[in-house]
């Protein structure tokens, strides 16, 4: 098994503050109803520590913060990249930070607020380094990932269950199967690390390689073809993605995390119902600008408790196949690729000189 060692770097020095806040616990009726429902179902009362990644969107930050407030994690980490040189962004970032630090339950609050803008890759991966440097395990939410109330206890239970199981590297709150019943259990195992609301462990994040040092070796060795079971679409799609990230053409952190999981044969737990909705699609978003995307504002459902755990740990091949064809390589692109191959073959045949008669 090829393991990726995470580079030891620190992008900038930042100010970290810690404070305890004890509020009056005066909750609105909605909060009380949600809390009572959760407690009646016998769900774990204590949420794991949460890392909340914010930037310049006060509106979505407020919605996600409200969900965090209901879960009342005992330790909350808030990380924010610095504003860019754009009109009004300083004020937007300041407002988002104010909202996210408005904690009114007993909680240890830690912040990592950048003065300079580092960009998505360095700011997020640096925040995750910081978080998992402090915690053995925890939940990660971005400012546009709105979780259902049972997302937190679902993550908490699975974090404890697979704490020492190196086969599991991530717990996702996303389900993109579009109401397809994948399994009779509460969740299944996948090779795809969906990160719109997720959880993991320090033992897994320590393998993260932001610079993708192992990609060239992986590319030459044909590992993608083995992982994709010789599917040309899988190989072409992920080769193009990983090439772009390795060459610095895409400023992101999550494709590196996907590659890290694959290089270490790591699986992700996927809930059988969607627990997190991405509410941030639109022109203000860096990576999800299409407000009409089929993935925007997906409805969430609550997970039933007690959780029914799978009896064996094995990847759901048919669920991953659906994800591959619906999200990454739809039939239209496959037909186009086959057409290109056919045209290329026909061109070579036409150029080939005719055989002489004996």
Q: Is residue 45 part of a domain?
A: yes
Beta bridge partners, 109, equal: 19, 76
Say if residue 222 is in the same domain as residue 302.
no
For residue 272, what pLDDT is reported? 96
Find all residues with CB under 8 Å of 66, minimum gap 6, and list them. none
Task: With beta carbons less than 8 A apart as the criterion, state whether 193 and 268 touch.
Answer: yes
Say if residue 283's pLDDT is above 90: no
Rounded Cα distance, 198 and 266, in Å:
15
Q: What is the mean pLDDT of residues 3-24?
A: 37
86 plus 231 within the same structural domain: no
Give the total number of structural domains in the chain.
Answer: 2
Domain match, 290 and 220 both: no
Please check whether residue 193 lies inside any domain of the structure.
yes
Is pLDDT of 336 > 50?
no
Question: Tell me: the pLDDT tens digits for 219-278?
Answer: 999 999 999 888 888 999 999 999 999 999 999 999 999 999 999 999 999 999 999 999
When mean pLDDT is compared across 38-47, 57-66, 258-267, the lowest value belongs to: 38-47
Mean residue pLDDT of the chain comes to 83
Asked if residue 150 and residue 114 are part of one domain, the reply reads: yes
The radius of gyration of the chain from alpha carbons, rounded to an integer in Å, stands at: 22
pLDDT recorded at residue 292 = 67
Domain contains 20: yes
| 342, part of any domain | yes
In a domain, 9, yes or no: no
3 secondary structure, DSSP code: -
Residue 246 belongs to some domain of the structure: yes
pLDDT band at 332 (very low <50, low <70, confident <90, very high): low
End-to-end CA distance of the chain: 56
- 301 and 341 together in one domain: no
The parent domain of residue 231 ranges over 213-252+316-351
Q: 295 and 166 in one domain?
A: yes
| Domain CATH number, residue 88 | 3.90.550.10
Tell which wins on pLDDT, 218 or 354.
218
Q: Output the CA–CA distances (angstroms, integers) from residue 308 to 166, 190, 304, 318, in the order listed.
A: 21, 17, 9, 20
Looking at the structure, tell me whether residues 100 and 134 fall in a common domain: yes
Axis crossing angle, helix 89-100 with helix 58-71, rounded to the nearest 10: 10
Same domain membership, residue 171 and residue 30: yes
User: For the whole model, what pTM was predicted?
Assistant: 0.82
Same domain, 205 and 234: no
Local confidence band at 291 (pLDDT 50, 70, 90 cut-offs): low
Kindly report the length of the chain: 358
Nearest to 259 by CA among 278, 236, 243: 243
10 within a domain of the structure (yes/no): no
Q: Is residue 4 part of a domain?
A: no
Q: Are residues 309 and 326 in the same domain?
A: no
329 and 233 together in one domain:
yes
Claim to verify: residue 199 and residue 275 sit in the same structural domain: yes
């Amino acid at each position: 098994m090829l393991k990726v060692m995470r580079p030891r770097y620190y992008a900038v020095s930042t100010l970290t503050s810690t404070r305890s806040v004890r509020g009056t616990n005066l909750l609105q009726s909605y909060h009380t109803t949600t809390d009572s429902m959760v407690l009646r179902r016998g769900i774990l009362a204590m949420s794991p520590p949460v890392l909340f990644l914010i930037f310049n969107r006060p509106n979505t930050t407020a919605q996600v913060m409200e969900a965090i407030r209901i879960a009342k994690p005992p330790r909350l980490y808030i990380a924010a990249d610095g504003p860019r040189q754009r009109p009004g962004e300083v004020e937007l970032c300041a407002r988002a930070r104010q909202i996210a630090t408005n904690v009114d339950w007993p909680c240890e609050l830690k912040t990592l607020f950048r003065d300079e803008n580092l960009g998505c890759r360095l700011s997020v991966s640096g925040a995750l380094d910081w978080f998992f440097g402090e915690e053995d395990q925890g939940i990660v939410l971005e400012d546009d990932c709105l979780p259902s109330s049972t997302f937190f206890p679902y993550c908490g239970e699975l974090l404890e269950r697979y704490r020492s199981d190196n086969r599991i590297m991530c717990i996702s709150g996303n389900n993109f199967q579009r109401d397809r019943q994948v399994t009779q259990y509460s969740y299944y195992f996948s090779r795809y690390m969906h990160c719109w609301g997720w959880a993991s462990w320090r033992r897994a994040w320590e393998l993260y390689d932001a610079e993708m040092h192992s990609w060239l070796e992986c590319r030459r060795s044909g590992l993608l073809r083995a992982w994709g079971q010789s599917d040309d679409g899988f190989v072409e799609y992920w080769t193009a993605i990983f090439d772009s990230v390795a060459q610095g053409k895409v400023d992101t952190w999550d494709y590196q995390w996907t590659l890290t999981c694959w290089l270490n044969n790591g699986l992700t737990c996927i809930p059988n119902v969607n627990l997190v909705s991405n509410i941030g699609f639109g022109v203000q978003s860096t990576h999800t600008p299409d407000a009409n995307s089929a993935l925007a504002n997906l409805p969430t459902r609550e997970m039933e408790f007690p959780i029914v755990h799978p009896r064996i740990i094995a990847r759901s091949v048919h669920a991953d196949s659906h994800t591959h064809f619906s999200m990454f390589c739809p039939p239209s692109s496959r037909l186009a690729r086959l057409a290109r191959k056919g045209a290329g073959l026909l061109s070579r045949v036409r150029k080939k000189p005719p055989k002489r008669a004996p």
